[in-house]
Amino acid sequence: MVTGAFRAPTFRYGPGHRGADLAGGPGQAVLAAREGTVVFAGPVAGRGVVSVDHPDGLRSTYEPVTATVATGTVVAPGDPLGVLEAGHPGCPVAACLHWGVRRDRLDHLDPLVLLRPPRVRLLPWAGAAPG
């Protein structure tokens, strides 16, 4: 369940919510959304953070997480990264995972877009009878 939706800032350093908050439970496994390489696993401002670089240039970040992976670990979709910690500010349940995705350093994207199936387009079939 999404407890906090992505809100892009109106300007580069403006206020916004640069990710999505997902309801969970303390100690729940946090899994990699996509394949990639762990580029950071440790504390930032008192919270555990895991960041994964993906082959397409995107980086996903998960917090607050007690990491069970180390920097340099190669992960596949669904591989465990760590366990969810309680204490995410504004979380209405026992624990929330803040999941962020960015391209480059400051281009934050809605991570939920990565969960949506690709758009299907029907093209004309060369063998179709004229209508």
Average pLDDT over residues 90-102: 92
Pick from 57, 62, 114, 116: which is nearest to 88 by CA?
62
pLDDT over 70 percentage in the chain: 88
Distance CA 109, CA 58 (A): 9
List 82's β-bridge partners, or say none.
Answer: 30, 67
| pLDDT of 121 strictly over 80 | no
Domain locations along the chain: 2-115
| pLDDT of 131 strictly over 60 | no
In degrees, rounded to 5, the angle at the alpha carbon of residue 26 between the alpha carbons of residues 101 and 115 is 30
Between 13-17, 74-78, 101-105, 124-128, the lowest mean confidence (pLDDT) is in: 124-128
- Output 55 or 13, whichever has higher pLDDT: 55
Name, of 11-25, 70-84, 100-114, 115-129, the range with top average pLDDT: 70-84
pTM value? 0.84
Provide DSSP, 91-115: -SSSEEEEEEEEETTTEEE-GGGGG
pLDDT class of 117 with cuts at 50, 70, 90: low
Average pLDDT over residues 82-100: 91
CATH number of 2-115: 2.70.70.10
DSSP state of 35: S
- Output 21 or 89, whichever has higher pLDDT: 21
